[in-house]
Copies of this chain bind each other. A is one copy, B any other.
Amino acid sequence: MTVGRQKIIGVIGAGDASEKECKVAEKIGEEIARQGCTLLCGAMGGVMEASCRGAKSQAGTTIGILPGSSRSDCNPYIDYPIVTAMGHGRNIMVARSSDAIIAIGGGFGTLSEIAFALRLKIPVIGINTWDVSSEIKKAETPEEAVFMAIGLIGSNT
C-alpha cells in the first residue's frame, strides 16, 4: 500500500453531465490511472463519478473532496473521501489540491473551479469547457488531455 508523493490530477465538470461528457471523463480517469497518477475530484456524480469509475477500472487511486457532511455521501468509486461540509465552498479545495486540472464541459460550479485554478496559477486543460482565458490549454482527446496535464505539472514544479 506504500505510495509516496504522487502527481494528483483534478477532474472537474458537471454533476449532471451529458452521456458524451461522461464517456470522455471515464476515458480520462482510465488514462490518469494508467499513467500512475492519482485522480482527485468533487466526489459527486456525472463527470466526477465517470472519471473515478474509469480510474478504478485501471486499478488507479481516487480522492474525493465531498461537499456534504457524511463520509458516505459520495460516488462509489472514491477511495479517500475528504469530508468538508462546505457545499460549493469545497470547490477551491479541489483546485488547490490538484497539481493540474482537466475541465470537461461544466456549469457555473465548474467555472468557479476554473477561475480559482487560474487565480492560483494551477495549470488547466479544457475539453469543450468555459472559454474564459487563453491560459486554458485546449485538448481534443482524453489521452491528449492527460498527456498535457502531466507535461504541465512537470514544468510547474
Give residues in A with beta carbon < 8 Å to B.
1-6, 8, 33, 36, 38, 56, 59-61, 63, 65, 69, 71, 78-89, 91-93, 96-97, 99, 107-109, 111-112, 115-116, 118-120, 130, 132-133
Contacts and interface: CB of A to CB of B under 8 A. Distances in A.
B86 A1 contact: no
A8 B97 contact: no
Contacts of A109: 115, 119
B119 A107 contact: yes
Nearest to A112: B115
- Copies of this chain per assembly: 4
A79 B132 contact: no
A5 B75 CA distance: 11
11 contacts: A1-B33, A6-B79, A6-B80, A69-B87, A85-B96, A86-B86, A88-B116, A88-B120, A108-B115, A112-B115, A112-B116
